Amino acid sequence: MYVCSCRAVSGATVARLAEAGASAGEIARDTGAGTGCGTCRQVIAALLDVDAAEAAIAARGTLADSRGIGIQRSGQPMTEAIMTEQDGNVVAALNTLLTIELTVINQYFLHSKMCMHWGYERLARTFRALSLEEMRDAESYTDRILQLQGLPNFQRLGAFQVGESVTEQLTLARDAERGALTALRDGIVTCEQSGDLATAGLLRGAALEEKEHLAWAESQLRLVETLGEINYLTTQVIS
């Protein structure tokens, strides 16, 4: 999952540098993150728990930081206790997103295999790449839930439809991405209401990726409409 789309810097890269003690400025210097359009700076700041994120947390009162440890207005740490109701709301939102990702992984993977069987190798490769990206998102949500002392729900899987034609598969991809974006928006609101700016930042980064996926599916459907399905399919064959 990319935190900085301009420079293709992933959340895993930011996390690795942060663990090594790098500051936001050093991460920008080493990776270029935040030096393009600049919209990812707030996300990186939230993920790193730097002063800007802590100031926003303090302004909201006594809230949980990104590791689940309370911070009082006085700056004195509270004792780490069981998950608060606010943390529980965030975990529930993350588990909802996890269910969506686990479901879409299967949908994209199956559609990739079907397209490959039909001979549409280019489309098969794209669906496979989307499946792997959704898998990385599922891993991010799983890690965050565990950091919040929650339990990732891998037992709950949503039902998905199987596209019996390429047009149906693209339509289902578009609908799945729209659903994911709606859930992400709701999740961001929940995180902000709970004061968890780090998780909100994580979800904003995921939303950028899902918007790219949605834009791709919509563009392919426009091509199908413009060219006709048969002509479109000829563009998906690698000779």
Task: Encode pLDDT of 155-172 as tens digits.
Answer: 888 777 899 999 999 999
CB-based contact 41:60 (threshold 8 Å):
no
The two tokens of residue 79 are: 């004792």
**Confidence class of residue 234 from pLDDT cuts 50, 70 and 90?**
very high
In a domain, 21, yes or no: yes
**Confidence class of residue 3 from pLDDT cuts 50, 70 and 90?**
low
Residue 151's contacts (CB-CB under 8 Å, 6 or more residues apart) are 91, 145
The Cα–Cα gap between 135 and 128 comes to: 11
Beta strands in 35-90 (DSSP E): 63-64, 70-71
Instruction: Look up the domain containing 13 and give its range.
Output: 1-48
Q: pLDDT at position 77, please?
A: 38
Q: Does the pLDDT value for residue 74 go beyond 50?
A: no
Q: Which residues pair with 27 in a beta bridge?
A: none
110 and 3 co-located in one domain: no
Average pLDDT score over residue span 47-58: 40
5 vs 99, more confident: 99
Any idea which of 23-37, 128-142, 179-193, 223-237 has the lowest mean pLDDT?
23-37
36 and 115 co-located in one domain: no
The two tokens of residue 185 are: 């928006």
The residue count for the chain: 239
In a domain, 99, yes or no: yes
Count of the separate structural domains present in the chain: 2
Q: What is the CATH number of the domain that holds 170?
A: 1.20.1260.10
pLDDT 10s digits, 17-34: 766 677 777 777 778 777
96 and 160 co-located in one domain: yes
